[in-house]
Amino acid sequence: MFHFAQVTALFLSAVLVVTVESLALPANCDRQYVVRLGDVCDAISAAQNVSTYQLATANAGIINSDCSNLSEGETLCLGIQGQDCNQVSVVQSGDSCPGIASAAGISVATLLSNNPNIASDCTNIYPGEVLCVAPSS
């Protein structure tokens, strides 16, 4: 049976965790998402129209580099005000940067600018990665 002190400690711990997670989000976060059991970064990105790079950048310090530390109930930022790209393309096997750019009606230079994580020779894209394909403004 729980004693009053144990219940109080559990409650305060839960409040602290929620408060710390909320404080970790950027103040200018435009959109948010609450992690569900089994979520992975690329699937969240595809479903929420946010690039893999943008999800990682907006949540620096929250999501680790291989996205293996998501917790059910955790709140993530999907985009920063003024920098929120929601026009995306999910990389398929056999895709190339010229092909992705052409299908989106943008130049390869714009694709690379939108996704600074992509190598200039485009050799590091992978199936399931979500790329920003917005035209330049």
pLDDT digits (tens, 9 = 90+) for 15-47: 444 444 444 788 899 999 999 999 999 999 999
pLDDT digits (tens, 9 = 90+) for 70-126: 999 999 999 999 889 989 999 999 999 999 999 999 999 999 999 999 999 999 999
Which of 104, 137, 128, 108 has its CA nearest to residue 52?
128
- List Cβ<8 Å contacts ≥24 apart for 54-62: 54/78, 54/79, 54/83, 54/84, 54/85, 54/132, 55/130, 56/117, 58/26, 58/29, 59/25, 61/24, 62/21, 62/24, 62/25
pLDDT for residue 105: 97
Q: Please give the structure tokens belonging to residue 14.
A: 């839960």
Q: How buried is residue 137: exposed, middle or buried, by Cβ count under 10 Å (0-12/13-18/19+)? A: exposed
pLDDT for residue 26: 86
